[in-house]
Amino acid sequence: MSEINTEPKDTQSFEADQIIESAEAGEQKLPTVDVSADYEASKEFSVSDIDRTGAGAEAAAAATAPKFDIPAPTEIPMPADSSGNPDAFRSMAQDLNPTGTPGEVTDDLIQKAIDLGTPGT
């Protein structure tokens, strides 16, 4: 069986070694990469032909236009009670929940639970 080489410097293929040797000997020229020029050229492909004209803006507006009329928001006046009277708040709270909070725990309820939970009673 052959061994697996895990050394990063020795993982190149035979073809890669051949290209490096021929480039060092001057027999083959290595390709050059101009990142700036490639980036500038890629900008041409990032915008479609229709977007370079006014028709692109019209098509985008038509595609994103709402299908139904949207009503304008209306302001609802909410007058605040500026009296600062706590009794007004208590009466409002009583109107909302006149019987008290469900599950409200009182001293009588606790005593009843203690009595019911006591063995022999």
pLDDT tens-place string over residues 16-25 = 888 888 888 8
**pLDDT confidence bin for 100, thresholds 50/70/90:** low
Closest CA to 52 of 65, 43, 40: 43
Of residues 52 and 2, the one with the higher pLDDT is 52
Mean pLDDT taken over the chain: 79
* Alpha carbon distance 57, 50 (integer Å): 9
| Residue 90: strand, helix, or coil | helix
State CA 115 to chain mean position distance.
Answer: 55
- Statement: residue 114 has pLDDT above 70: yes
Q: What pLDDT does residue 8 have?
A: 61
- Cα Rg of the chain, angstroms: 41
| Structure tokens, 62 | 């038509």
H or E, element range at 18: helix 14-24
* Alpha carbon distance 59, 51 (integer Å): 9
**pLDDT confidence bin for 6, thresholds 50/70/90:** low
Q: What ranges do the domains of the chain cover? A: 86-117
pLDDT tens-place string over residues 37-84 = 989 888 878 777 787 788 888 888 888 988 888 888 898 887 776 777
